[in-house]
Structure 1
Amino acid sequence: MGSAGSEAEVSRADFPDGFVFGVATSAYQIEGARREGGKGDSIWDVFTEDKERVLDRSNGDVAVDHYHRYKEDIELMVSLGFSAYRFSISWARIFPDGLGEKINEQGVAFYNNLINFMIEKGIEPYATLYHWDLPNNLQKTMGGWLSDKIVECFALYAEACFANFGDRVKRWITINEPLQTAVNGYGIGVFAPGGCKGETSRCYLAAHHQILAHAAAVDVYRKKFKAAQGGEVGLVVDCEWAEPFSEKLEDQVASERRVDFQLGWYLDPIYFGDYPESMRQRVGKDLPTFSEKEREFIRDKIDFIGINHYTSRFIAHHPCPGDISFYQVQQVERLEKWNSGEPIGERCVHFLNLVYALVGMDEEDDPSATLDQVLNDTKRVGYFKGYLASVAQAIKDGADVRGYFAWSFLDNFEWAMGYTKRFGIVYVDYKNGLSRHPKASALWFSRFLKGEAAENKADTN
């Protein structure tokens, strides 16, 4: 990874002044308070009522109770040295029915209190408008992201957020990981709203409407709020970096195609007005088309890109991969290990020229482990060190990366995996009052941010 790639050497000084270090969460995963503050049900509230859909039969009704404990959580962020917090707003707290006609003042008040407390404590707010928790009424009445009517609903919701919070929030994210909503939510059905029965063709329609909704929100901001508020609106996409498995041309092309089906799916329309040609060739009539008016409308509707990255894979061409249809159509085989058998994710990290990066790793919940054991997450420490070293090197190589957010600040409800996976740098004790305990990774970050990581590297190796 170059000179900055040594885990022992990476430090805050390797990053330019003004580089943002933050943590991230999402509303459904941490807030709880399902039936408080006038909130309506989201698709995840309803999805988890069928307990068979979640590995440990759990839900986010209480989650980690951030709704009531946000001050404690923000103060913990401050004590660790972070300067930014990427949180998401629950659409169903602002408009319980999702329609944008009657605003829920209690929901507005909650986020005003949260944002004001963050700013009071010196934390910069980065607000995500949509992190998968669609108001259930929109799913029930119009089919959610499968309907073109949702574009206007999302624009109305975005406008309400800009109007109520935009005097303080200057960095907006429209949609987080739209690929996951499209594929896992509407294509495979393992995420809310479910019920898809493997009809993966629907994922392309859901994605199409997310792109149009994103553009509509940016358009509203630029026309009505940009001049007075001076903020920026971006999109956060997720991508597993694809490395060719061999030097064969077919594997090189396959790896490019794999990235097309992740980044290109959402970014090509915004930058070039249409989907990647490799998708057009393989998806055919299932891939929607943009009208000329829509092409012009979506073009350049973005101020920054965020990328959520968890791991990298080798990609080999495969004419008939034994996988679900979304991957079959790509004609790729996804490999996670080097020839030696070592996992690729811990060996090699690639970053593109992107503005904000979010990185995280999970670990299994171990009910038999002691508190000291679960707090000693040395593997995650090494993971963050490696990523930060790669980001620092990418910046030296000319990449325009301006921020890094650790996922996640807290252990939380991890979607279909429930509470069996822990991504947090802060341990939440689910059995003892949801008490918070910084893990070794949080303490390493704290030393890193305060310029002490190099001196203390021996403590976490």
Structure 2
Amino acid sequence: MGSTGRGGEAAAGEVTRADFPEGFVFGVATSAYQIEGARNEGGKGDSIWDVFADKKEHILDGTSGELAVDHYHRYKEDIELMAKLGFGAYRFSISWSRIFPDGLGKDINEEGVAFYNNLIDFMIEKGIQPYATLYHWDLPHNLHQTVGGWLSDKIVDYFALYAEACFANFGDRVKHWITINEPLQTSLHGYGIGIFAPGVCEGEAAEPFLAAHHQILAHAASVDVYRRKFKAVQGGTVGFVVDCEWAEPASDKIEDQAAAARHIDFLLGWYLDPIYFGDYPESMRKRLGDRLPNFSEKDREFIRNKIDFIGLNHYTSKFIANQPNPQPKEIHFFQARQVEILEKRSSGEAIGERAASEWLCIVPWGIRKMINYIAKKYDNPIIYVTENGMDDLDDPSAALDQFLNDTKRVGFFKGYVGAVAEAIKDGADVRGYFAWSFLDNFEWAQGFTKRFGIVYVDYKNGLSRHPKASAMWFSRFLNGAGADSKPDTN
């Protein structure tokens, strides 16, 4: 670390672009429901999030993504700013209900196809590589109503039809595909706790595991379609995005060490072990028994190695201790996991400074450990860090300058980007890094109360965009410029 970037001296020990291999991709990430808006435009059908957020009690501030930050109409402005800042890639998601309003894969919505064609073409014109996510939580509401969404095995075929339509329409330009984003969140929060759409919370212990099972099969089915019908001509790759915090044992006790390993099994292994090894982790099988669905021999063969890269969404790390007597009121996933999540050790040592969200502590060394864990366990796969970032609490009374001078976020990115560079030096095959998020946006159940963007969106004054200090830091970092130079973002 601390080598000189192109055209400027780096501070001692500070990460520079030169610390990364040739061809390493730096980008920003968003998702359709969080930024697009235009709920009733362009032939789009309702998604489960459209309907879920209609009940204002589901969202902390009673808002929704109906307008979001209006990226649907302002995508050119947003892509131009991205390019001016120097980012080489944009990870965006395609709204399934913009392509197939009813989700059924029969009548394609040409207006939706045209929107994403225009978006992709403009990205490429501005020198930005498209990284497209097929599913970032916004299932067509009709599929939830008619077949039960991710709880039905029929969803696998519907997802494959949708994926095929996207490959056929966009795959001549999109060379990096992500099937499903954070299946853990859909399974647990959508079908277990019920705080995310579709809000299923009936106490049935099997539901989160069924939703997870079908997401794994749907991922494999779409990779299969790509490899059979498109790979030879298009030459792209297809990955799967998982989210996992690093689990640092709270002590040297054997039971805490085992609990930390188990924590990662229940977050990461739940989705990756079936693809790489043909079944769920042994620690899950042992504790969950027949609540976990079984893969038939045919399924095992079908899903095995159906992945070209792992996308890792990583934000934080926690101390993990064994919890032999979990709360009986919790859903079975948490009871079976038997872990206690701590921000401080018994000695009082904190794992890191907290961001705005109570779950997010700033622990740069955790991402290095997380990446190295994946590299070791799954035989050094290609990895992209597909999300990494931190939030501020929205304060409508605060001055604009207060948000733009986001020094804590600058420090966050310096630390985490530096730790990714160290993981590469350790031997991990990391090919890219995407900051979350490009824009302040609708933050799911938290509404607009949290701001993750490196670009401030003024919700009170026409949704105008203002790059924060963190965006300027990235621009200097990407251009190898000195710390005092300022990019032209006007």
Whether TM-score is above 0.5 comes out as yes
> Which residue is equivalent to 1:105?
110
The partner residue of 2:480 within 447, 451, 454 is 451
State whether structure 2 residue 245 is matched by structure 1 residue 240: yes
d(CA) in 2 for partners of 1:175 and 1:97?
A: 19
> Which residue is equivalent to 1:96?
101
d(CA) in 2 for partners of 1:141 and 1:308?
A: 31
> Which residue is equivalent to 1:286?
291
> Which residue is equivalent to 2:441?
412
Q: Is the 8 A contact 1:318 1:332 kept in 2?
A: yes
Which consecutive unaligned segments of at least 5 residues does structure 1 have? none
Aligned pairs for 1:145-294 (under 5 A) are 145-294=150-299
- What whole-Å deviation, never above 9, does each CA across 1:280-299 have from its counterpart, x for those lacking one? 01111110000000000000
Q: Is the 8 A contact 1:11 1:453 kept in 2?
A: no
Percent of pairs with identical residues? 74
d(CA) in 1 for partners of 2:393 and 2:256?
A: 33
The partner residue of 1:356 within 354, 363, 384 is 384
d(CA) in 2 for partners of 1:375 and 1:362?
A: 13
How far apart are 1:336 and its partner, in Å? Answer: 1.8
> Which residue is equivalent to 2:432?
403
How far apart are 1:455 and its partner, in Å? Answer: 6.1
Three-state SS of the structure 2 residue aligned to 1:175 is strand
Alpha-carbon spacing, 1:123–1:256, altered in 2? closer, same or farther (3 Å): same
How far apart are 1:201 and its partner, in Å? Answer: 2.8
One-letter amino acid matched to 1:217: S
> Which residue is equivalent to 2:330?
324
Alpha-carbon spacing, 1:400–1:185, altered in 2? closer, same or farther (3 Å): same
d(CA) in 2 for partners of 1:19 and 1:217?
A: 26
Q: Is the 8 A contact 1:9 1:454 kept in 2?
A: no
Q: Is the 8 A contact 2:314 2:367 kept in 1?
A: no
d(CA) in 2 for partners of 1:262 and 1:269?
A: 13
Q: Is the 8 A contact 2:36 2:69 kept in 1?
A: yes
Q: Is the 8 A contact 1:186 1:200 kept in 2?
A: no
TM-score by length of 1: 0.96
State whether structure 2 residue 424 is matched by structure 1 residue 384: no
Aligned pairs for 1:43-82 (under 5 A) are 43-82=48-87
d(CA) in 2 for partners of 1:170 and 1:397?
A: 27
Alpha-carbon spacing, 1:149–1:27, altered in 2? closer, same or farther (3 Å): same
d(CA) in 2 for partners of 1:232 and 1:3?
A: 33
Three-state SS of the structure 1 residue aligned to 2:472 is helix
My pick for the range that moved more, 245-254 or 353-362, is 353-362
Three-state SS of the structure 2 residue aligned to 1:442 is helix
* Alignment coverage as a number of residue pairs: 456
How far apart are 1:195 and its partner, in Å? Answer: 3.4
d(CA) in 2 for partners of 1:164 and 1:350?
A: 35
Q: Is the 8 A contact 2:322 2:338 kept in 1?
A: yes
Aligned pairs for 1:285-324 (under 5 A) are 285-322=290-327, 324=330
How far apart are 1:342 and its partner, in Å? Answer: 2.8
d(CA) in 2 for partners of 1:424 and 1:455?
A: 22
TM-score by length of 2: 0.91
- What whole-Å deviation, never above 9, does each CA across 1:124-160 have from its counterpart, x for those lacking one? 0000000000000000001100000000000000000
Alpha-carbon spacing, 1:38–1:7, altered in 2? closer, same or farther (3 Å): farther
